[in-house]
Amino acid sequence: MSMFVDNTITFPYKRSLGPVVGAFMTALTEKRILGIRSGDGVIVPPIEWDPATGAELAPDFVEVGPVGTVTSWTWVPNPSVQHPVDRPFAFASILLDGASTPLLHAVDAGSTSAMEVGLRVVPRWRAERHGRIDDIEAFIPGEKADPPVTGEAPPEPVTMMDYNASIAYHNPVPAASVRAAAASREGRLLGQQCPSCERIYAGGRTSCPVDATELTADHEVDLAQKGTISNYTVITPIQYPGQTETEPFARVFVLLDDAAVVLGYQPVVDLPADEVHIGQRVAAVWASPAEEEDMSGMGFGALVGWVPLDEPDVMDPDLMNRIY
C-alpha cells in the first residue's frame, strides 16, 4: 500500500506598494477603480512603466468603470479554498468602461449559461474594504454599479500589503523512507549499501545515484551514531511571521564514523553557535517517545540533533571538502 504525506508551505510577505499601486488600492476602499494614462490609452490596474517602451509613467490616474464588458472567460467548476468564490464561477478578462486593457477578475454568474463574451458586469464590493484587489468580491452581471463612497476626509492612504502565499503538496513516500523513519524511531540511523559499487548512503533511497542499481531492504545497514563536523553554517534569525528562533543557531554537516556518509544541515544540542567548528566530534541525540510526539509536525524520525563529545578534534584539512 502506498503512503502519502500532505505538507503546506506558507511564505509570508510584507511589501511596500509605492505611489502607483498604492493609489489604486486606496481607491478600492472608496469603491473606485483607477487606471493610469499611457499615451492614448489607459492601463488597468495602473503600472509604473510603459509596457511597450519601458519609460516611467507619470501618475496621471483615470477613474474607469466600474461597469465593464467580458472579453474572454474560463469556467472554474470546482473552486478550492484559495479561490475568491466558494461556488462555481468564471475567471474573466473584463474591459472596464474607459480602460484600454482588461482587468482579470472573478465573475459570479451562477452558471456557464449566463456567461458570454460581451456580458456586461459590475463589481460586488465587500462591506469592509482594506485596500486589496479582493475588496471586489467578484463581478456580477448587470449595468448598475454602487456609487463611490464619498466623505469630507480623504481615505487613509494604503501603503503596505501583507500577503501569505501558500502551496500544498500531496507526496508519495517511498517504502525505503518509511523504513528509515521507523529505524529512527528506534534510535537507529539507517543506511544503504549499493551491491554494485559498494558505496554507502543515508537511508531512504530507492536506487544508487551513481550506477542506478535498485536499493531494497536487503541492502540496508546500520550507520554509526558518532561523527565529525565537516562544515557548518550559522543562521541569524529574522523575525518574520512564524519564526520561533530568536538567537543565532547552527546547522552542521556530520561525517559519520566508519562510512563515507555525510548528513547535511543537522541541528546541534548543547552547543552554542559561536563554539561550532570543523573537526569537532559529535554524537546523535534521540527524542523520547513524548518528545517525538511533539516533533510529529517536523517530519519523519526522532533524531533531535548532535551533541558535542569530550574527544579531541579531528585535524584533517580535507574535512571542509566533505559536504556529500
Check the CA dihedral 36-59-84-76 and report its sign: positive
Average pLDDT, the chain: 90
Tell me: do 109 and 179 sit in the same domain: no
Burial group, residue 212, by CB count within 10 angstroms (0-12, 13-18, 19+): exposed
C-alpha span between 11 and 9 (Å, rounded): 7
In contact, 109 and 115? CB cutoff 8 Å: yes
Backbone angles phi, psi at 298, to 5 degrees: -100, 0
Tell me: do 248 and 217 sit in the same domain: no
Give the pLDDT score at 300: 43
Give the pLDDT score at 152: 65
User: One-letter amino acid identity for 311?
Assistant: E
Which DSSP category does 275 fall into? Answer: G
What's the whole-number mean pLDDT along residues 260-272?
A: 94
Tell me: do 11 and 153 sit in the same domain: yes
Tell me: do 195 and 275 sit in the same domain: no
Among all chains, which residue has been given the C-alpha cell 509613467? 57
Tell me the percentage of the chain whose pLDDT exceeds 90. 70
C-alpha span between 25 and 45 (Å, rounded): 10
Cα-based torsion angle of the residue sequence 75, 80, 86, 89 in order, rounded to the nearest 10 degrees: -10
Domain boundary among 208, 223, 238: 223
E-strand ranges in 145-219 read: 160-173, 190-193, 200-202
Domain range spanning residue 11? 3-165
Among 22-36, 147-161, 307-321, which stretch is predicted with the lowest mean pLDDT? 147-161
Using alpha carbons only, give the angle 126, 90, 42 rounded to the nearest 5 degrees: 70
C-alpha span between 217 and 180 (Å, rounded): 10
Give the pLDDT score at 245: 82
pLDDT-based confidence at 164, cuts 50/70/90?
confident
Which cell goes with 226? 558518532
Domain boundary among 117, 143, 165: 165
Among all chains, which residue has been given the C-alpha cell 475567471? 91
C-alpha span between 75 and 171 (Å, rounded): 28
Tell me: do 37 and 144 sit in the same domain: yes
DSSP output for 90-156: EEEEEEETT-SS-EEEEE--SSGGG--TT-EEEEEE-SS--SSGGGEEEEEE-S-PPPPP--SSPPP
C-alpha span between 285 and 179 (Å, rounded): 19
Tell me: do 235 and 208 sit in the same domain: no
Q: Please tell me the total count of domains within the chain.
A: 3
Tell me: do 280 and 151 sit in the same domain: no
Tell me: do 262 and 150 sit in the same domain: no
DSSP output for 251-265: EEEEEETTS--EEEE
Tell me: do 18 and 147 sit in the same domain: yes
Tell me: do 96 and 235 sit in the same domain: no
Cα 50 to its chain centre, rounded Å, is 30
Count CB neighbours of 241 within 10 A: 11
pLDDT surpassing 80 at residue 22: yes
pLDDT surpassing 60 at residue 212: yes
Tally the residues of the chain.
324
pLDDT surpassing 80 at residue 150: no
What's the whole-number mean pLDDT along residues 244-256?
A: 92
- pLDDT tens for 93-106 read 999 999 999 999 99
Check the CA dihedral 264-269-270-274 and report its sign: positive
Check the CA dihedral 273-300-215-209 and report its sign: negative
